[in-house]
Amino acid sequence: ENNFIFGLSVEDVQHLKRNGYNPRAYYNNNPEIKAALDWLDTDYFTPGEPGALSSIKRSLLDGGDPFLVLADFASYADAHQRVEKLYANKSAWAKAAIINSASMGKFSSDRAIEDYANKIWDLNSYEIKDIKS
């Protein structure tokens, strides 16, 4: 209610990967995706250098889109519309922002990084001693 979750479910990802993911199908069947990716072939973002960003398009279409960006796009676009609608109502937006911030609880970037270091990367902490000159 106070945040906007989007994207494929774990089951959807597994299904796509099991049955074969074809990013070109999303490109060919979604005019918004096609327009956005075709824009990368122009010089709109890189004046005087048309195609400077074409490698992004190629990586998604020819590189297999390993993170399923194109498969998540429709869900992202839907979430973005919900964000815009809430943002238009300033008091509802402020209330949601306050509740979301207050609900973060123990989240902090320091704790998150420490958790990754310990649980994912299996790293030990190292104490840095203060060296006085």
CB 32 within 8 A of CB 101: no
Using pLDDT thresholds of 50, 70 and 90, give the confidence band for residue 133: low
Rg (CA), the chain: 21
Whole-number Å distance between alpha carbons of 21 and 15 = 9
Please spell the DSSP secondary structure of 106-120, one letter per residue: T--HHHHHHHIIIII
Listed range (19-23, 44-48, 114-118, 125-129) with the worst mean pLDDT: 125-129
Each residue's pLDDT tens digit, 53-94: 999 999 999 999 999 999 999 999 999 999 999 999 999 999
The model carries a pTM of 0.72
Using pLDDT thresholds of 50, 70 and 90, give the confidence band for residue 43: very high
> Which of 17, 46, 130 is closest to 8 using CA atoms?
17
Mean pLDDT of the chain: 92
CB 97 within 8 A of CB 1: no
